[in-house]
Every structure is written in structure tokens, then in C-alpha cells.
Structure 1
Amino acid sequence: MSITVPSADPATGEGLGEQAWIEVIQKMDEVYNDLLQYEVALEEKNAALEESHQFIESVLTSISDILIVCDRQGSIIEVNSSLLHFSGKSAQELEKTPVFDLFADEIERARAREVFARFGREGVHDCEFFLRAGDGSTVPVSMNCTPRVSQTGKLMGMVVTGRPVGELRRAYQALRQAHDDLKRTQGQLLHAEKMVSLGRLVAGVAHELNNPISFVLGNVLSLQRYASRLESYLGAVHATSVADDAALIELRQSLRIDRILADMPLLIDGMIEGAERTRDIVDALKRFSAVDKTLPELVCLNDVIERSVRWVVQSASARFAVDVDLPPDLRCSGSSGQLQQVVMNLVQNACDATLHVGDARLVIRGSVASGQLSLIFSDNGPGIPAENLGRLFEPFFTTKPVGQGTGLGLSISYGIVERHRGKLSAANRPEGGAEFILALPVESN
């Protein structure tokens, strides 16, 4: 703002009047007030600018990701504290240095130059590079690059951000582990619920079967006594009254009475054995369903395995060889009948799995270590499909054709082994075939 001061009148020679000086002073006051207002506004803008600068500084300091501001030549202009901590260098050491010096080696530098040059205008998004950390290690970093332009659209440089991928991978692994643990827990809960439901079902079935089996067994035992009496009576009659009756002798021969009398004890013994085995199965079902509780006893597993193998091999429809390699006197605490049920189930499953194998074979090996005995059942069958490994011990799950399997054998065996404080697991052998491992706590003499 300019102030015009009236000059003296040249004609009269008189100086400035009083009114003119008053106007000059007023103008000077106005100028001074304007200057004060300008100064106040400037101080307010400076304060706002300083506040914005402090805010930006605090934001940049708080950012956990790496932040680098570069010029058009790729030289570092500004960095945040995360990069200083990552690189182990100060801001003065990094200033004016090429950003590509931060990369791990020449291969990574050449790759970064090529990627940044190709996508510099569009920007680079989530591209993984290896950077050299302050401790000398190479760290994978997911990087982003955005072009920095002026108000007129002129390229001024670029802004590079990055996040170490190792932390993300560790977080992902932890999340994956938690997810797997949750799935495993859910599977265990589902399995436990199925086992409870199965126990209720088995308890009812065992109760319904127990009465007719007891009736059949009782009648067969009575028939055995009657057969013995009849045989004695017929022998006495034939020896005394009909020794010379040729027609009666011929009738006895044509009806094969002697062969019937010879076969009858074997038939009755077979019926008794079948009824007793059925009764044992019902008892095992009742124990599985917690209807009956038996006191633990000292069980010799060598005898259990020998009996189980003999019964399965004798009833096998095809040739089935079993090799047993056990340490002497393997003992554990539990129920002999229940453990025999488990072993028979494993041997029978191996027999069924190798039905179409030319040289069907099962190898049973045993070992003792750290207070635990292990029995390994290895067959040379086709193995277990990978999708079925996790479902083998589920109730009612079976891969056998309809009518040939109920899907209860392995699930019942699994429950029996758990009650004996052991573990039953399955896997496929690298050389082919399936392998079941039965682990039980060992008992010393």
C-alpha cells in the first residue's frame, strides 16, 4: 500500500496544512493494522503447517511397514523409522544412496530395476523381493511402488513401501496350526459322540442277543447229554436183543447209524464252540458299551496272538500265511477276551485285504521300549486309500461290499484299546500294504 504525501504549494510557498498531516497519519495507521493482520495470519499458517508436519512425522514413525521416498533417479530422499530399524543404518547414511542398494544381491537388484522400470508409471503391487537386513540376513519383503508426480503431472520420483513376508508367514502358520488343532478337536468330539451313540446301540443289541444265545447253548448242552445216553442205550440193545436179527442189522447199516453216532459228538462240540464264541462276542459288546465292568488281569499277549492267529487261519477261505516275531512273555494289564477281540479283528482284516493276493501274508512284530509294548501288523495287500485313512475308526465306516462288513470292528477295537490306556493307529507301508500299530503299557512280572 502506498501513501501520497501532499507537497508544499510552489506559488505561495506555504507548507502542508494540518488536515493533510492527519490524513497521512490515518493512512499509516491503516497500513500498520494491515501489517499486523498479515503477521497474525502468517503465524497461524505457520502454526498449522508445523502441526501438519508433526502429524505427518508421527504417522510415518508409527507405520510398521517400510517406507522409502525416492527421486527420479532412484536416490533415497526420505525414509521412515521402520526402514532404519530394518537396515540398521541412519537416515544420513541412506540419504542420496540408490534404493536398489537395499536389495540382497545383484540378481535381486537387476530384477527390481527391470520391474520398477516396466511398471513405474502404473505402479508395482505386492511384488516379493529379497532385501538385505541389518544383521546381514536376506528377508523376503512384499513391496509396492507408486509414482510421485507434481501438480502439473510431471514425474518427480516414486514412493516404495514394503512389509516383511516372514511375519505374515509365521502368522499364517500359526493360524493354520490353530485351524488344524480345531479340526482335530472337532473330529475327536464327533468321534466321542459317535462312540457314545454306538455304545447305546450295542448295549441294546447285546441284551437282545444274550437270551437266545443262552437258550441255544443250554439246549445244545442238554442234547449232548441226551446223545450220550442214546448211544449207550442203542449199543446195549444192539448187543443183546438184535445180535442175530439180520434185517435190523441191515437197516442199521443202510441208515448209517454208526456213522451218525460217531459224527454226533463232533457236531455237538462244533455247535457248543460256535455258541460259546457268540456268547463271548456278546460279552465283548456288553463290555464295550460299559454294561459290564471286568476287573483288569495280567494278560500274556503271546498266548492271545497265538489263539487269534490260529482261529483266523483255520477259518480262512484261501491260503493265508502269518509270520509272528515277538519277544517272550509280553504282558499287559487288561481283559484277555477284549484284547483277543482286537487282535482277531486286525488279523481278519489283513486276511480280507489280501484275499486276491497270490502270496497273502501278514507279519506280526513286537517290541518293548520305555515302558510300552508295540505290536505291528503288516500285510502285503493293496493298502488303504489316502482318503479313507482318517475314517477307519469311525463307527459303521467300511470299504467292504454290502453284506460283508458292518464297519464296527475297528471302531470297537479302537475303544477297547483306549480303555486299556493304549493307542491304535493305521498307515500305509512305503513298500506297499497296510500297517496297524497297537501300543499298550507294558507290565513286568
Structure 2
Amino acid sequence: MTRRDTPSADAGAPDGTLERALSDARTVLELIRDLPTLDTLDDAVSRGLDAATKGLGFAGAMITHKGEEAPMGLLVLGAVGLESTVHRAGSILGGHTVEWSVADTGIERVSANIDAEPEVTGDPMRGRLARAGLVLPMRLGTRIVGTLTLTADPEGWEPPGEETLLLARAMADQLGAAVSSLRMRADLITRLEQLDALGRITHALTGVEDAEETMRLVADEGRRVFDAERAGVFLFHWDEERTECVVALGLSDGYIREVERVANQLQTTKALLEHQPVFVSRAQGRPGNTLAEAVAAEGFSSVALLPLVFAGETIGSLAFYHDAPRKYTSDERRLAVAFADQAALAIGKSRLLDQVTRVKREWQMVFDASGSGLAVTDAEGIIVRANRFVAEMADIPVTSLPGYDLKTVFRRWPEAGQGPLAEARASGRPAAAMLDSKDGRLLVVTATPLPDDRCIVAIDDLTDVVRLENRFRLVVETAHDAIVITDSDDRISFANPAAAELFGATAASLAHQTLDELLPAAGQRDRGPVSQALRYDAECRRPDGTTRQVSVSSAPLVDGETPTGRVAVMRDVTQEVETLDELRRSESRFRTLFTAAPVAIWTVDRDGRFLSVNRAALTMLGLDELPAGATLEQFVDPADAEPVRHHLAASLAGERREFFFRFQRPDGAVREAAVVATPMTHGTSPSVLAIARDVTDEQRLRERLIQAEKMASLGQVVSGVAHELNNPIAGINALAQTLLLEGPLDEGAERVLESIRHECDRAARIISDLLTSSRQQPLKRQEVDLNLIITETMELEEKAWPGEVEWTLDLAEGLPTVSADPDQLRQVLGNLVANARQAMAGAERRSGHVRTYLLETGVGCEVTDTGPGIHPDALGKVFEPFYTTKVVGEGTGLGLAISHGIIETHGGTINASNAPGGGARFCFELYRHLG
């Protein structure tokens, strides 16, 4: 609504305006009268907002208050009308509001557009609704305690007159006094209720002994006292480095698990360990933090974490969770800490009581379940309490034993004034004696005096110990190993028969001798500490002049911490030493044979990992040393990997295998080896011993011999067939040419004759290529510049096939000459270039590259193209005669075979591969030292 203001009195106001002014004054007077009668803050706020809107006629009103809940802002106590569309009760207004500025400076604000004021620049509510009005400070004496905002629709807005401002100021001051008074009264009542609750919980805890019940009572009462929706008690188990939630009121399992998981890593836990409470008014966390996600899922806005301190140590935390933002006042914080201290004291006392009860119960269980007899007697030796062990010896029920004399348990008890009970009481120290029980058992009775003339009597049954000692003596005397025991001076006090036999003397003659005298070499050893066990080897020289190799194991005998001697066990290892020496000599011979063998030898385990390799194997593999953890499969050609695994598996199963495989050396060379694999063991694990030989050169020589034989056979056939074919072909060609020259012919006949001539020429070329490939042409060697040969060949190529392929040359400078037949090299280059051109016939990009390069012992040439490349299956066949991938009629399959023969005749090498970027790659190399 638009506020209709009252003009000033000297303006000759009409009666309606005067009535309006009187009505406004009555509204303020009624408010002043009613406020002292209201009991609650909500009633006072509601009454003030009603008077501002209905009485003074404003479209909206809002009351804010300064308090501990919002130290950096104003707490909205209530808003109605136009203001309720912007703010709501419980909101906090910060520094970007006009209200905060008025509360801070005490200067009222009248504005035609409150949302356009400078302070509102950062207000997220700005722009939602245009409001005109005034903001007044609410005062209590000279202190500003809040603000009163009165707003109207800015359309038709007129600033209020002085009379309206005076009434509004009076209303603001009255509301300030009433709100402050009611809040102070509410705070006082809250403090009294909280103190009363603390008293109740303190009184209640004094009567609770169960730890779990104590903690649940604390959490539930605290939740009510501090108006929390959830509560929890968490105990710290530092010995196990974990946190445990022992009481959860309203907390989800997911949140509890996450807190238990990360509690030890939190900064809040570190503060709790320093006995510092933590109050979080707005709980939040970094994005992606799992605890922050758990907090968001739980839905609380603030939390109070209170340390539970007992005996100077933080034993846990008491936590209260609030769904709405909650700021604890300083008084509430002190009260919460006092509450937690009382709770910690009760929990600690309860835990101590539980611990004392548990220790008592455990002591009772130990007393009753002890494997020794335990009894408490009075000054006269009458049993006050005894366990089942004593009851069984006396053959009296354990419940009936109290009142019996202890001597009834034994066959013979010492006379009066003697025995362990009398000696213990007389000396004030424990006393012991060996006595027989009624059933013939040997018992050690130890009496320990107590201050009240009573004694604790311990009865140990040594019957089995004596039996074990007799068995031990029998074992020692019949043992095959020599056993001696020495005294503190290292002189022999006991020696078994095996020791007498080892030293070639009687057991009596060994007495009082030292081990160093019997084993002279042992006297030079480093004995180390007297209390240390020793193991060493020594030589025993017997009286008859013979010697024995002895392995000695010696251990100290101690009484408490005082050494009383040593026990030494000695074994005659003469035969083992001799066998070991022979084994070492045999191993040395094998190692020498293994290392110096001219063939490769290695051993591998079940995973194919090398266990050992000799120098010949490293040389074959092209290595200086074997990498750690290397396996055979790392060197095997991928195509042979599966067969090699099969053969090794068969050898591991006990079979002897012979096979071939290809392997690749670090320099990229692919070689072939012949292997004989035999099963063996390495320690307790099966392994394979392999002997290998590099047969690459043999295979190449064999292939050359086979190729030579094929070419010789081919030459015989070709030389006979060529003569028979050339004459008829020449005749057919001449006849077709004569018919063409005689003319005239129709177009169809002329095309047929031209086709006959073309096929005759093609047949003649095939016969010529066959003759060339089947016979070894003598080389006409001379010093040749390879770069010049390439330049001339490429010039002929460009003239014959202009623009067909975009060729680039990369010719190395300073390339030395080589001894070769220039015409045959031109033929090789022509074949490679023609092959590349034909391969790129259907390619989208047709470019070729010819490169020369320098070798340590010669020169090389590389020809690459951008064609489809060579199929992997064809790489091993491209140099075979008659092998071609072209369609019928477009190639003979002899060009690359001829080139291969020419280069090999020159003593060089030629190979084919696929270029990394696509296309085929042909390389040949010629060597200067061959001539």
C-alpha cells in the first residue's frame, strides 16, 4: 500500500488528516500500554508488526535484533506484509543491508527505494521487489539493540512527515525496550533450566554404574538440554588407532561409519585431544570430501563437539547436532563443557569400575584354573582358601577345604617349627621345600608370608619334570651327536658316550678339560658375548693321530642373568666335508665347461626366466650381460613364441626336445637357432637345460645352394625353350607388322594386329628375363659413383613416365665409390623404381623417395613409396622367381629376383620391408672391401 502521510499542522490540514494523526498516536499509545503485559518475545514481535502495518498503515514491517546468535549481523525476529516476501524470521542480515548500516551507525534511513541504497549492492535479494520506506534504530537507553523497518509500495510514495517519524521512532524505542527485556528474561530462564538439567544429570550419574547406560543417559539428557535433534558419544581407542560410536541418537549408519573411518585424521579430533571443545555453527566441507558428503546426507547444519576428559586424557567426544544453524553463547559453551566434564567423570568412573570388576573376575579365574596348587593359610597353617588343584590332592571338595590343616595334603609334613610355613614366617621371605603327596607325587611347596601372619602357599608338581629329566638323560647318553656341558670356567662337567668316542677318550678323562684344549682351532674363533649362542666348525685331533672335522653348536646356560656354563652339541662331519669338497671340485669343472663351451648353454625356470647363461649364449643373443629378470620369450620371434612355450612345457614335464626357433637381437637382426632342451631341477623346482647353436648362416647357405640348383635347372630348361619359342614369336610379330604396313585395314582388324604385336613383344621380354635370371652374367666391375647412377636412372624414369610419380632424391654428400658393374646397378635401380611406380598406380598420393647413405664398410640405397605396402605373408617371397602380386599380364615376377641375384653377385645384401608411415621400402647395400 502507499503510505498516506500527515501534513504538518501549520499547513491547514483537513479534518480527515487530523483524525489520521490522532489514530496513529492512539496506535502507538496502545502498543506502549500492551507491551509490558506480554509474556513472550513472539507475542511482542507480533504485536509490534501488527501495530506498524494496521495502525500506522504501512504495507510491510520487519523487526531485527542484535544478539550473540549473529555477532556479524542482525537476527530477523519477524516480518509481515511486503517485508515477508523478502525476509523471514530466523534469517541473518549482514553488511550488505540498510538495516545493518542503521544498527551500526544509529542513523535512521528514509528512502524512496530501499533496494537501491549503496549498502544493498551485494544483497542477493536485491532486485526482487522495489520497496520504499524507512529503517529506524531500536534503542535501549543509549545502546542500539535492533532495527524496525517500515515499507510501502514506491508508486505514489511521499516521505513521511515529522509527526509520523516521531511516532515511528517512539514505536521503535518501545519495541527495542520490550524485545531486549523479554530476550533477557528468556535467556535467564534458559540458563536456569540448563543449570537445573546439569544438576539433574550430575545427580543421576552418581547412581549409574553401567558404562553403556551412563553414556546413553548423558547423550539423551544433553540432547534435551541443548535442544539438539541428534546426539552421539564417540570413544577413542588409541591402542588400536580407531574411533567407536558407542551411542547414536538419530544418527544414520552411513554417517557413523564415515566418522569412525576418518576421525583420527580430522583437525577437530586434534583439538579435542588438546581438551578444546569445537562449536561449528555452519557444518560444511570441501567438495569431494567424503565426510562433507556424509554431513550433507545427514542433513544437520551445526554441531557441538565436546571432549570427554578423564584423568588428564581425552577418552572420547560428546556431540550434539542441530538441523538449523545454531550458535552457542559463551554461557552455553561453558555449560556444555561442564556438562561434558560431568559426563566424562561418570563414564570414566564407570569404566574403572568395569575394569576393576573384570580384573577381580580374571584373578578369580586364574586362581581357580591355575595348573599349580594355590592356597591361603592362617598363622596356624589352616586353609582359608584353596583352588581345585589342592582339593584334588587332598581328595576333598574345594568348597569344604577351608578349615582343614594344610599338612593333610602330604604324606609327611615337617615337625613343628620346621617346614616352609614356619621358615617363611620367621624370615619374612619366601621359603620352599620338596615334599611327597599322599598319592606319591613329588611336590615343591613355596610359602610366601603376608603382613597379617597369613601365607600364600604355591604347590608345584615336579613329578613330570623328574620323569622328563630321566628321559633327557637317556636321550643324551644314547645320542649319536657328542654332547658336553661345561661349568662357569668353561671346563667339562658332563660328557656323553658319543663325546668320548669322538675325542677317542673316556668320559672320565674328558672331565675338567676345556673345549679349546680339545678343539685347538676353535680357540682362535671370535666367541662374542658369553650369553650368545655360537655355531662354528673345528678340527678334532684324536690321541691316535687321526683328525675329525666337527660342527659345533654351543648355547649358554644361565641362572637368571648369571652365566653358569654352556652346553655344546658336536657332530662328526668329516665325511660330509669330504663329499662337499668333491662336490665343489665337480661344480668347478662343470662351471669351467659351462663358461668355456663354444655353444650357447642356458637354464630357465618354469616361467621361462633365465637362471644361468654362458658367454657363448650372450654372444649369440648379442648381449654383453643379461638384464635382471630376463626371459627367453623376450628374445623369441613372436611367430615362434607359442611353439617354444610348448617345447619348454614338454621339457619341464620330463621330455627331451629338439627344435628350431627364430630370435631377435638388440641390433634388430633376426637369427635362427637349433636347440636341444633337457629337463633338470634347480633346487627343488623343475627347470630346463638348453644347448643352442646359431644356424642362421647355415640356413642361408643351404637356401643359396637350393636357389642355385633351382636356377641351374631353370637355365637348362629356359635355354632350350627360348630358342624354340623365339623363332615362331619373331615370325608372328613380322607377319603382323607386314599386314599392318600393307593396309588399308578396317579399325577392328588393325586393333587385332596391334594386340598380336604387343603380346609378341611381351613374350619376347619374358623370354629375355628368363634368360637373364637363369644365367650368371660376368661382372664388369669398375669404380662407380652410386649417386651418379641414381641420378641418370631417375632422369630416364622422368622422361619415360613424366608426371606419373613425384620423386624426391636424398643423396648423401661425399659418398665413396664402390667396385661394381654400372649397367647391372642401373638394372637393379630401374626394377626398384618401376616396381614402386606400379605399386602406386591406384594410390591417392603418389610420391617416391630415393636415399643413399654411408656405411662403415660401404654404401647403401633406399627406395620407398606411398603405395599399399607389402603383405606380411609376402615379405619372405618377394625375391623368389615368378612370384608376383600383380594381375595376370602385368608382371613376370622376375624383376626382383634378378635384382636380388645381381646384388648378391656383388657381395651385397638386399631386403624388403614396410615403411613406418606406410608403403614399401627396399634397401640394398654394397661393400667397399669386396672387389
Range of TM-score over shorter length:
0.3 to 0.5
Higher strand share: 2
Larger Cα-atom Rg: 2
Higher helix share: 1
**Which TM-score applies when normalising by structure 1?**
0.45
Q: Compare relative contact order (CA 8 Å, sep 6+) and give the higher one, 1 or 2.
A: 1
